[in-house]
Amino acid sequence: MTNPNILLTRIDNRLIHGQVGVTWVNHLGANLIVVANDKVSGDEVQQSLMDMVLPDVIQTRYFSLEKTIDVIHKASPRQKIFLVVKDVQDALALKEGGVPIDNLNIGNMHYEEGKKQISSTVSVDEQDIKDFKRLGELGVNLDLRRVPTEKGQNILDLI
């Protein structure tokens, strides 16, 4: 079975929004965005709002985590996939479920009570740190970066 052509997986609590939609897609040369999120997979309003920010040539799929795990290996090699998840827990669930995530871009994890801010756009709590370390152990390259032009940092160096 061939591996799906996942160019990059990104954590962004806003999932797809203007900057990401356009900047990352162009940078990667992606033609399919897969949003793996249990809530959004059932929310057509959210989906159409996200679709609006993207160029028409980009296809989108909104799958639950389970469905992503089930169908990602059926992707055609022509599908250049940009996989977007909401948080590190979802990224880890996908990785442990057999989705071949090699490169994880940490773009946006907003601050909330109990989290510590480690960059201008990323805040983590103990569970997040544990899960990032686990991803690191699984061989995932962890790159904290908002936009492609920024110099990335290994998140493990910051936590």
SS3 letters for 66-123? HHHHHHHHHCCCCCCEEEEECCHHHHHHHHHCCCCCCEEEEEEECCCCCCEECCCCEE
Active site (annotated) includes residue 17: yes
47/98 Cα distance (integer angstroms) = 25
CA angle 18, 20, 25 (to 5 degrees): 115
Task: Name the active-site residue from 17, 27, 73, 110.
Answer: 17
CA distance 159 to 3: 31
Adjacent-strand bridge partners of 9: 83, 104
User: Pairing relation of β-strands 141-144 and 81-85?
Assistant: unpaired
Active site residues: 17
